[in-house]
Amino acid sequence: MEVSILVFLAGGLFLGWSLGANDAANVFGTAVGTHMVRFWVAAAVCSIFVILGAVISGAGAAHTLGKLGAVNTVAGAGMAAFSAALTVYWMTKLGLPVSTSQAIVGAIIGWNLFTGSPTDSGSLMKILATWVACPLLAGVIGVLLFKFTGKLVTWAKLHIFRLDAYTRGGLILAGALGAYSLGANNIANVMGVFVPSNPFTAFGGSELFHFTAIQQLFLLGALAIAIGIFTYSKRVMMTVGSGLFPLSPLAAWVVVVSHSIVLLLFASQGLEHLLASNGLPTIPLVPVSSSQAVVGAVIGIGLLKGGRGIRWRVLGGIASGWITTPIAAGAICFISLFFLQNVFNQRVFQDHAYVLSPPVVEKLAAQGVSSASLAALKDRRFESWAALEEALGALDTPQPALEKTTRAFAMIESLTVARSKLNRLQGSSFSLEQRAALRAMIGAHFLHRWRFEAALAEASAAWRSLALTPSNKLANRQLEDQREEAYLLFRD
Amino acid sequence: MAVQLFKRTKQLELKVDEILDLVSQSAMAFDQAIDSYMSEGVSERFNQRLEQVVALEARGDKLGLAVELQMYNETLIPDARGDVLTLLEALDGIIDSFKSVLFYFSTEAPEIPESLRPYYSELAKLSGAAAESLVLAARAFFRDVQTIKDHLHKVHYYEKDADVLVTKIRREIFEMDLPLANKIHLRFFAERIVWISDMAEDVADKLTIYAIKRTI
């Protein structure tokens, strides 16, 4: 393992630590803030379930490399993670429940700006819209659930001590589930970028016990999160639990459950599949911030109670944190990348080379680009997108509208299905049929990734996308992840 | 662990229920003790009731301490812990007052004129009834907060009746042809008895606030 990888891995671990210090407050903050669960109990339960979630369920989501996937060098990824972590740490120091996802989005945009890579404005707008929709929805769910719980408790006529015991149990249970999903969903943000340069190897070959390299990497990240929970999360827990609005223990439970429902609505592929397979309309899967969900639910309950107890100054601090977080993370990332590249001589961005090979021209022609206009550029290799863009611009009939497709088809992402790499299939998520198709392609070399994917689809139905219906969405997304995994396994 | 937690919770519920039973029982024993004093003076029957109240008070103290310790050690009901402790202490104070009034009768054996005896019995009944209604309100606070008002208004009703009666007793005492020392002595006993209903009313006022806190 290279020493530099270890250094950049530290950036990811720092992000893990910050995530633990900040996001653990979302699942246990109200429980600890209302003195229903002791901090050490909350920290222990949270840590155990974060680790379990990361190791057991985290690997499934890892192939997409999380939201940092676009950052294509370890140095760049490490610095993006470090910038996000530094921002989260700074906000945590102020005791504000900041959104780790926001910090990461900010850092990626910082990386995009520094490297001149395009930022997908559609995705960005979608993410920005959820920063408004998520707390609102959490507030509404919080109010409804609070009213329902109040009626239920009145009806059940529970003894005050019995109600206390149930609330305590409910808080720990909801917190444990929240911690599990925190580990499963966020570990890709922390460690996902290091998957291609994973220094670990799998061990324990039996059916019962098999510890893959990715799981070991994620365990390391989860341990960083756990250390963050134990060492630094108490202050944010107190802000969430009692600083914003004095919550009753029952309201604390309502907040945790509302936050989990919001995350589930926006993040559950299973729920989407269930709705789709029953012919019901689906909810778009968008990454949402758990911090915003918790704050939204607390404020919702506060408003239901007349709004007089809400500490607007604290809320103002939190809301301003939501604006400054992505901006600060982006700025820190931009400046740090400058130093990393120019002072420490590290490669923070890997630009791809492009070639308008005959299959590319043919593909573009099928998309409506006149092949005659591209004839002048046929088979020419361009070392960067900027060079190809310039050449395209100089053509008699420029094709700016097709920038995205040209970029995707002409990009050189060469790979070889080498026999020496076949042993890596053992720890993969591929089915037997998919593996057989890959084995049958031994020795094949591809210049473009889309050509490899087309060959896979031709070789086996197991690699073919299903018809674009809502009920097939989940299966197609899984297949997309598997194609990404296959590319990462065999790329040159 | 969860089974253990619910077992401990059940035990705690039983302890609180028992404390409330003790208050109710001491109210009844107090009432009977005053009745027997009015008919027989410090008799064996009176002493039996006095011993009964002393034992109930001792048991109440022990249970109250156990509940208090468990609530603090296990940081139970953090939002209502202070209220519950104040309530239990106030209920313990009421048993204590029953005991101390009976001790005063036992040690000072006041000579109550025949004409006033029914009033003293009635006053003891009103104070006891106020305490018993308070116990019902406290039970509602622990289990069914919506019905607490049904009992609290009775506490106020009995306390008001007791106030009217004690004024009547005072007036009659001071209209009697008795030495001043006797008059003051008789007044002291009437005021000690009515004081219990005042205590019950104070706790009822607190319970009204605690109930509002529990419902929001």
> Is the Cα torsion angle A311, A317, A320, A326 positive or negative in sign?
negative
Asked if A157 is an interface residue toward chain B (Cβ–Cβ < 8 A), one would say: yes
| CB within 8 Å: B143 and A168 | no
The whole-number pLDDT of residue B121 equals 95
> B interface toward A at CB cutoff 8 Å?
2, 5-6, 9-10, 12-13, 16, 75-80, 84, 141-146, 214, 216
Q: What is the pLDDT of residues A308-351, one digit of tens each?
A: 778 888 888 888 888 889 899 999 999 998 888 888 877 777 77
Tell me how far apart the alpha carbons of residues A55 and A226 are, in angstroms, rounded to a whole number: 13
User: In the numeric block, which tokens belong to residue A217?
Assistant: 């990497």
The whole-number pLDDT of residue B165 equals 96
Q: Which residue has the tokens 């296959």?
A: A486
| CB within 8 Å: B2 and A169 | yes
Mean pLDDT computed over A433-458? 87
- Residue A38 Ramachandran class (φ > 0 left, ψ -120 to 50 alpha, else beta): beta
Q: Which residue of A has its CA nearest to B80?
A: A160
- Structural domains in chain B plus CATH codes: 2-215 (1.20.58.220)
Residues of B in contact with A36 (CB under 8 A): 75, 78
pLDDT at A93 over 90: no
The whole-number pLDDT of residue A279 equals 75
DSSP state of A68: G
Tell me how far apart the alpha carbons of residues B104 and B49 are, in angstroms, rounded to a whole number: 14
The closest alpha carbon to B51, from B123, B102, B126, B14, belongs to B102
The whole-number pLDDT of residue B68 equals 92
Contact (CB, 8 A) for A460 and A437: yes
The whole-number pLDDT of residue A64 equals 42
Tell me how far apart the alpha carbons of residues B127 and B30 are, in angstroms, rounded to a whole number: 9
Residues of B in contact with A35 (CB under 8 A): 75, 78
Nearest to A36 among B5, B78, B142 (CB): B78
Q: Which residue of B has its CA nearest to A252?
A: B79
Pseudo-torsion of CA A308, A309, A312, A315, nearest 10°? -140
pLDDT at B31 over 90: yes
Q: How far is B215 from chain A (nearest CA, A)?
A: 8
Q: How far is B78 from chain A (nearest CA, A)?
A: 6
Tell me how far apart the alpha carbons of residues A257 and A294 are, in angstroms, rounded to a whole number: 9
Tell me how far apart the alpha carbons of residues A488 and B160 are, in angstroms, rounded to a whole number: 85
The whole-number pLDDT of residue B29 equals 96
Q: What is the pLDDT of residues A199-231, one digit of tens each?
A: 676 666 555 566 777 778 888 999 999 999 999
Asked if A403 is an interface residue toward chain B (Cβ–Cβ < 8 A), one would say: no
User: In the numeric block, which tokens belong to residue B26?
Assistant: 């001491």
pLDDT at A67 over 50: no
Q: pLDDT averaged over chain A? A: 81
What is the residue extent of each domain of chain A? 3-342, 354-410, 415-490
Going by pLDDT thresholds of 50, 70 and 90, the confidence category of residue B32 is: very high
ipTM, interface predicted TM-score of the complex: 0.88
